[in-house]
Structure 1
Amino acid sequence: MPIEPVTTSTEDDTAAEWEVLNALIGRIYDSVLHPERWNDTLARITGALCPLRWESAFILWESNHPPRAHFVAASGLAAGLQEIYTAVYAGTNSWSQRFSRYPNGSVVDSYDIVTREEFYETEFFRNFLMPYGIDRLVGVLLDRREGERLGLMIPGPGDRDTEKLKRGLRILAPHIQRAMRISDRIASLELAAGAARAAADAAPFAIFSLDEQLAILAANSRAARYAEAGFIRLAGDRFAFTHGASQKKLLDLARGPAPAGLAFQAVSEAGAECPVLAARITRQSAEQIGGVQFGAALVVTLGSAPGETPVIEIDRVAQWFGLTPAEARLAVALAAGQTLQDYAALRAVSLNAVRFLLKGIFRKTGATSQAQLVATLARLPGSSQG
C-alpha cells in the first residue's frame, strides 16, 4: 500500500495563514473600487494578524515640515483621537519623525527606531498614549507625495508578540501600496470626468459622443431637447438626423478613413435650422482583460437651443449690412424676439452697451426702430424669418 504523506501542524498553520492573507488581499483590492470599505478592511487586518489588545489601525498622510496629518481610513480608534492627533501631535512625535527615514515598502517596528526608555519620557507617550496602554507601533511606508508620506500604522501594547503581524504586513504591503495608487488614479480620473461632464452640461449646445456605428456612448443634458424639437432621433440608443441629407453627411464622415471635421445646417421635421459641428476623431481604445474596449469615433454638437437662429444667418446678416459680429448677433437676437434686457443679461453686458450697439445697427441698416429692424431682416433673401 502506498504510504500517505504526513502533514505536519506547521504545514497546516502555513496553509491556513496563506488562506487568511489571500482573503485579505481580496479585501484590499475590493476597497479600491469601494473606498468606504477601507475601515472594514483595516479591521479585518487587525483581527486576522494582530495579537490581543492590538485592535487599532489607521492609514494617514503625514508631513513633518510643516507638521500635518490627514487620515484616509481608521479602525478601532476611540472618538476624538484622530482630531487630537492631527491638531497636536502630527509630524512632531518621535514615531512619525523617525518613521519618515525609511524607504517605501518598509515594515517598521517602533522598538527599532526609538528605545522604550526614551519613548516613555516623551510627552506624546505620557499625555496621549499611556492612558490607552499603547507604547509600540508597527507600520508600513506606503507612498510619498510632495513632502508627505502615506503610512499604515498599527499601534498596541509592547508586551505582545508581533512577529505574525510583521510577517503578514510584509506580504500585504505591496498590495496595499498598489491599491492606494490605483485609488488615487481612479479618483483623479473621476475628478477629470466629473469636470468634463459638468462642462458639457453647462455648454449651451448638445454634445454627443458616438462610435463608428453611430451608437451613442455619451451625451450631455441638452441632448434630449433636440430630439423633442425634431432634429434627431434617438431610437435604440443610436443617433440619427431626421433630415436625410444631414444624416448622409454624418454617415459619410463616419466612413471616412481619417480624422476630419464638418459643419452644416441640420433641418428639423418642422423646417427649422440648427448649426451642426461633427468631427471624426481617432477611435478611442483601452486595453482590458481579454481584449480591447473601443470608444468614441465621432463627436457631434448641435446649435445652442432648438429652433434658434443659425450661426450661418448671423454671418449673412453681418455681410449684407456690413455689421460687426457683435452688431449682427444683437440684430438677429432682436429679430428672434429677444428684448434688449434679455440680450444684455444673456451676454453679461450692460444695457447701455447694448443700446450703443443698437445705434450702430440702426445707422447701417437704415432702420429707425426695433420693429423696423425686424421687418428689414425678415425681407432678406432666403431669410428664415419671412
Structure 2
Amino acid sequence: MRVSIDHAPTLARGHNEPAEWEVLNALIGRIYDSVLHPECWNETLARITGALCPLSWEAAFILWESTAPPQARFVAASGLAAGVQEIYSAVYAGNHPWSRKLMRYGNGSVVDSNDIMTREEFSESAFFRNFLAPWGIDRMVCVMLDRRGNERLGLMLPGPGDRDVETLKRGLRVLAPHIQRAMRISDRVATLELAAGAARAATDFAPFAIFSLDDQLNILSANSRAAGYEEAGFIRLAQDRFAFAHPASQKKLIDLVKSPNPAGLAFQALAASGAECPVLVARITQQSAQQIGGFSAGASLIVTIGSAPGETPVVEIDRVAQWFALTPAEARLAVGLAAGHSLQDYAAQRAVSLNAVRFLLKGIFRKTGAASQAKLVAMLARLPSSGGQ
C-alpha cells in the first residue's frame, strides 16, 4: 500500500551524481526536520521509499526490537497495511530468521537480507509462509541505527526480491549516519521533555511553594503554590524579584547569598499579620543546578516555603512525629487526618496507592495506641502546644 507523496524527487537510476545529491540533500533536510516534529517521521519514511526504492517496494518502518525477550516497538511506519504492526508485535517480534541474524550487525550497517540468508532458505520459514507471502515480500534492506540493552533500533525496508535495490542501498549508505544521529537527538529530546514535564508536575503537586532564584534573587522558576504566599503577605514578587516581607527573614536570605560556600538554612518567616511559615533555603552550585529537573540553569538558590496557606505547617508535622516517634510519612498522614482530610486525599496528594496509606495508618495506630481515626484525631487535639512540651 503506497503512501502518497507530494512531488517527492526520485533518485536517478543511472549514474547522475548532481541529481543524486540534490535528492539526498532534500531527504537529509527532511530527516532533521523530523527531530523537531516527530509526527513527521512517517511522511519522511514515505519520501525515502518514494525517492530510493524500486517499484513495489512501498513499506518502511523504524522499530526497536529484541530477541530476548522477543518484543518490538514501532517508532514510525509508512506503507504498511492496517493491522500489520499489531500482528508483527504480537506474533513475530524477535522470533524470525531476519531479526535474529540482524542483531549481530553494528550500528550504521546497511544490510541486505540476501547477504545473511538465501531467499530459498527464507522461503521455508514460517514467518515468510504465514505472514509475508501474501504481499510478495521475501527480501529486506535495513539500516542498523542504535542499541539499548538487548534491543536494536533499525530502519527496515521490505519488498519483492526480484527488483534491483542497488540504488536504495547506495542512498541508505549516505542517509544512515543522518538517520542515526536524528534518532538519537529525538530520543534525547523526548527524554528531557519527559523529565522536565515530570519535574514540573512534581513541583506543582507539592503542598508548599518552590522557587529557584539566581544570585541576584531574580525568580527563574516557581510552582503553582507561589502566588498564594504573596497573597498571604509572606513574600513580595515585584518585577520578578524574590523578597521576604519580614526584614529579618530577608536579611537571612541575603546573608546566605553572600556566603562563599554552599549551605542551607531553615527559619520561620513572618507575614504582616504575624502568622508564621516555615522556610527552607538551599544554596547550590552552578554544576548541580543544571541537573535539577524543572529548574532553569543558572539557579543559585532553591527556596521552599512551608505548606500552602491554610494547611498544617511543617513544624506541626515535626512536633507530632517527635511526640509519638512517628516516621515523617506517618506524621504527615496523622496531621492531615486531624485537619479533616481523608485517606483518599492523602493518597492523591502524595501520588501513592490507598493500600499504602492504610498501611501507614496501621503504623500510626500501633505507635499512638489509637484504635480508630476518630480517636486519633481527638488524641492529636489534646497534644500540648510546642511551648508546653
For 1:303 and 1:341, the matched residues in 2 are separated by: 16
Please say if 1:303 is aligned against 2:322: no
For 2:170 and 2:306, the matched residues in 1 are separated by: 63
Please say if 1:248 is aligned against 2:267: no
Contact 1:64 1:92 in 2 (8 A): yes
Shift in alpha-carbon separation, 1:120–1:226, aligned structure 2, 3 A: same
Q: How many angstroms does 1:224 deviate by? A: 1.7
Q: How many angstroms does 1:302 deviate by? A: 0.3
Structure 2 runs not aligned, ≥5 long:
1-11, 291-295, 347-356
Please say if 1:280 is aligned against 2:280: no
Q: Secondary structure at the match of 2:66?
A: strand
For 2:272 and 2:22, the matched residues in 1 are separated by: 65
Shift in alpha-carbon separation, 1:134–1:308, aligned structure 2, 3 A: closer
Q: How many angstroms does 1:59 deviate by? A: 0.7
Q: Deviations over 1:167-221 (max 9, x none)?
A: 1211221222222223333333333333333332232211111112222222222
Query: Counterpart in 1 of 2:72?
Result: 69
Shift in alpha-carbon separation, 1:146–1:111, aligned structure 2, 3 A: same
Contact 2:30 2:44 in 1 (8 A): yes
Shift in alpha-carbon separation, 1:71–1:324, aligned structure 2, 3 A: closer
Query: Counterpart in 2 of 1:113?
Result: 116
Please say if 1:227 is aligned against 2:230: yes
Shift in alpha-carbon separation, 1:261–1:170, aligned structure 2, 3 A: same
Q: Secondary structure at the match of 2:16?
A: helix
Shift in alpha-carbon separation, 1:31–1:171, aligned structure 2, 3 A: same
Q: What root-mean-square deviation, in Å, do the aligned CA atoms of Structure 1 and Structure 2 show?
A: 3.7
Contact 1:273 1:308 in 2 (8 A): no
* Residue of 64, 85, 92 corresponding to 2:88: 85
Query: Counterpart in 2 of 1:214?
Result: 217
Query: Counterpart in 2 of 1:352?
Result: 371
Query: Counterpart in 2 of 1:46?
Result: 49
For 1:103 and 1:189, the matched residues in 2 are separated by: 27
Shift in alpha-carbon separation, 1:107–1:273, aligned structure 2, 3 A: same
For 1:253 and 1:160, the matched residues in 2 are separated by: 73
Shift in alpha-carbon separation, 1:249–1:142, aligned structure 2, 3 A: same
Query: Counterpart in 1 of 2:340?
Result: 342
AA of the residue aligned to 1:342? G
Structure 1 runs not aligned, ≥5 long:
1-8, 287-292, 362-369, 382-386
Query: Counterpart in 2 of 1:290?
Result: none
User: For 1:323-342, what aligned pairs fall within 5 Å after superposition?
Assistant: 340=338, 342=340
Q: Deviations over 1:126-176 (max 9, x none)?
A: 332232222221101112222221111001122322122111211221222
For 1:227 and 1:89, the matched residues in 2 are separated by: 59
Shift in alpha-carbon separation, 1:311–1:160, aligned structure 2, 3 A: closer
Query: Counterpart in 1 of 2:349?
Result: none
For 2:337 and 2:86, the matched residues in 1 are separated by: 56
Query: Counterpart in 2 of 1:181?
Result: 184
Shift in alpha-carbon separation, 1:251–1:21, aligned structure 2, 3 A: farther
User: For 1:21-60, what aligned pairs fall within 5 Å after superposition?
Assistant: 21-60=24-63
Please say if 1:190 is aligned against 2:193: yes
Please say if 1:262 is aligned against 2:281: no
For 1:117 and 1:12, the matched residues in 2 are separated by: 31
Q: Deviations over 1:59-104 (max 9, x none)?
A: 1112223322221110110111112222222222222222223222
Shift in alpha-carbon separation, 1:239–1:117, aligned structure 2, 3 A: same
AA of the residue aligned to 1:306? P
For 1:152 and 1:344, the matched residues in 2 are separated by: 52
Contact 2:337 2:377 in 1 (8 A): no
Normalization by structure 1: what TM-score? 0.76
Shift in alpha-carbon separation, 1:226–1:360, aligned structure 2, 3 A: closer
Shift in alpha-carbon separation, 1:269–1:49, aligned structure 2, 3 A: farther
Query: Counterpart in 2 of 1:145?
Result: 148
For 1:153 and 1:339, the matched residues in 2 are separated by: 57
Contact 2:13 2:167 in 1 (8 A): no
For 2:297 and 2:68, the matched residues in 1 are separated by: 46
What percentage of residue pairs aligned between the two structures are identical?
A: 67
Q: How many angstroms does 1:30 deviate by? A: 2.7
For 2:264 and 2:153, the matched residues in 1 are separated by: 47
AA of the residue aligned to 1:61? W
For 1:341 and 1:263, the matched residues in 2 are separated by: 24
Q: Which has the larger radius of gyration?
A: 1
Q: How many angstroms does 1:229 deviate by? A: 1.2
Q: Deviations over 1:258-303 (max 9, x none)?
A: 21112222222322221111111102476xxxxxx94211100001
**Range with bigger deviation, 87-96 or 350-359:** 350-359
Contact 1:273 1:307 in 2 (8 A): no
Shift in alpha-carbon separation, 1:168–1:249, aligned structure 2, 3 A: same
Q: Secondary structure at the match of 1:342?
A: coil
Q: Secondary structure at the match of 2:286?
A: coil
For 1:103 and 1:340, the matched residues in 2 are separated by: 62
For 1:299 and 1:162, the matched residues in 2 are separated by: 59
Contact 1:272 1:307 in 2 (8 A): no
